[in-house]
Amino acid sequence: MALLKKIQILSRSVLGEFIKVYYKLFKPVAVNAINNEPRQRKVIVSLTSYGRRVSGNLAVTIWSLLRQTYKPDAVILWLDKEKWNDALLPNCIKRLQKQGLTVKYCKDVRSYTKLIPALEMFPDELIITVDDDLFYKSTTVQRLVEAYEKNPNRIYAHRAHRPLFDKDNKLKPYNDWVLELAPTEKQPIFLTGCGGVLYDKKLLHDDILREDLYMKLAPNADDVWFYFMTVLKKTDTVVIPRKNCTYIPLDNFYQLFHKDARLAASNCKESRNDVQIRNVLQYYGLKDTDIIF
pLDDT digits (tens, 9 = 90+) for 26-35: 999 998 899 9
Laid out side by side, the sheet with 237-239 consists of 101-106, 74-80, 43-48, 126-129, 197-200, 155-157, 237-239
The candidate with the shortest Cα–Cα distance to 267, out of 110, 114, 115, is: 110
In the chain, where are the structural domains located? 2-291
For the question of whether the overall pTM of this predicted structure is more than 0.85, the answer is yes
Residue 290's contacts (CB-CB under 8 Å, 6 or more residues apart) are 231, 281
Q: What is the C-alpha to C-alpha distance for residues 139 and 68, in angstroms, rounded to an integer? A: 6
pLDDT in tens, 196-245: 999 999 999 999 999 999 999 999 999 999 999 999 999 999 999 887 77
Domain 2-291: which topology? Spore Coat Polysaccharide Biosynthesis Protein SpsA; Chain A (3.90.550)
pLDDT in tens, 122-171: 999 999 999 999 999 999 999 999 999 999 999 999 999 999 999 999 99
Q: What is the C-alpha to C-alpha distance for residues 32 and 99, in angstroms, rounded to an integer? A: 8
Residue 258's contacts (CB-CB under 8 Å, 6 or more residues apart) are none
Kindly give the residue spans of alpha helices, DSSP state H, lying in the chain.
2-26, 51-55, 58-65, 91-97, 116-121, 140-150, 211-217, 222-233, 252-257, 263-269, 272-283
